[in-house]
Amino acid sequence: MFPTFLLPADFPLTACTISLVGESLRIKASSSQSSSICPACGCASDRRHSKYIRTLVDLPTSGYDVKVLILSGKYFCDNAQCSRKIFTERFKQEISPYYRRFNRCKELLGNFALELGGNKGAAISRLVRLRVSPSTILRIIKGRHLSIPNVTSGIIGIDDWAFKKGNTYGTIIVDLHQNKVIDLLADRESETICQWLKEHQEVEVISRESWWPLFKRGPGRCSAGHSGS
């Protein structure tokens, strides 16, 4: 048996062994599920086709990388109307199809990505022994669902940012009260910002640049704070 804190709670794994290989902690386990759901038609199947090893990265433990080698199954789909005849085992929690990391590991990297960006996020991930590239960090950001609030606090900052420096620019809008990015606009034209402000009549204070003083905008107006955008 393995310590319960190493893997997510109530995870369907049995026959686990732990070994230290260099600087990595290897956990070997097998799935204890007796059936799985076909991803194409949603029908359950308990007729196993074969087994295979699936390797997943988990959160580091005591300064060691952690890799989990799971003996998973492939199942026959007995639904005659289904286009999928054989499918790999699906799990209800913590493991998503095609991913090579546990969801909790991906969540941590996603937090690094949002706080630090690609290069810095990758550098910090290496320090905590979750070695990923800047490109991986960016892919995690793109694949993450981010909810955009419909209403701001009324105090915002506006500045431009570069899709490609010297070529293509957009506009970033930050809620200064919540200290969060709330929207990214496709360009930095004043008309685009005016349209955005018409849709957010709750905005009362705008900071055009971080070193400029705050100023107030009258209801329904696009004030001088947008000039030069």
Q: Which of 98, 85, 141, 88 is nearest to 117 (CA)?
A: 141
Q: Which residue has the tokens 């990505």?
A: 113
Burial class (CB in 10 A: 0-12, 13-18, 19+), 29: buried
- Do strands 13-21 and 24-31 pair parallel, antiparallel, or not at all (unpaired)? antiparallel
Would you say residue 81 has pLDDT above 80? yes
- Do strands 64-76 and 86-88 pair parallel, antiparallel, or not at all (unpaired)? antiparallel
pLDDT tens figures, 176-219:
888 888 888 889 888 998 998 998 889 988 887 643 343 444 44
Domain ranges of the chain: 11-94, 108-142, 155-226
Structure tokens at 76: 């026959």
Q: Which residue has the tokens 């892919």?
A: 139
Burial class (CB in 10 A: 0-12, 13-18, 19+), 121: buried
Q: Which tops the pLDDT comparison, 120 or 166?
A: 120
Contact by Cβ (8 Å): 82, 41: yes
Contact by Cβ (8 Å): 120, 128: no
Whole-number pLDDT of residue 89: 94
Per residue, what are the HEC states of 185-227? ECCCCHHHHHHHHHCCCCCCEEECCCCCCCEECCCCCCCHHHC
List beta partners, residue 67.
Answer: 26, 57
> pTM for this one?
0.65
Q: What average pLDDT score do residues 70-93 get? A: 93
Whole-number pLDDT of residue 116: 87
The rounded mean pLDDT for the chain is 83
pLDDT tens figures, 20-59:
888 888 999 899 899 999 999 999 999 999 999 999 999 9
